[in-house]
Structure 1
Amino acid sequence: NEPPPEEPPKPPPPEPPEEYPPAPPPEPPLDPPKPPPPDPPEEYPPAPPLDPPKPPPPPD
């Protein structure tokens, strides 16, 4: 059996990250969440017919 090839020295492990202070808890919103607006109706009612222009009064 041949001896295993010599492995190159492994690099040292990376330094642990600095300890960050714990994040502050998120502040609760002042206003309670508003409910979503109601869905608009899919079909709108037809617009009322426009009144035809009135003819001018006949001259006396």
Structure 2
Amino acid sequence: MDLTGPAWRKSSRSNGASGNCVEVADNLPEVVGVRDSKDPSGPALVFAPHAWRSFVRQVRTR
């Protein structure tokens, strides 16, 4: 999967004090990338946009 040009941003729910940060790139065509900010050169998960929206919607209701 080509992840060229992601604009990574930290999740508003990340806790910067403890280093538990998730970064999201939602500017990619047809996918949303998610990675661990402590390991920016490491692997990234990719989700279809509808799957990511569903995940975020579920998290917000909890």
Structure with more strand by fraction: 2
Per the shorter chain, which TM-score range? Answer: under 0.3
TM-score between both structures, scaled by the size of structure 1:
0.15
TM-score between both structures, scaled by the size of structure 2:
0.15
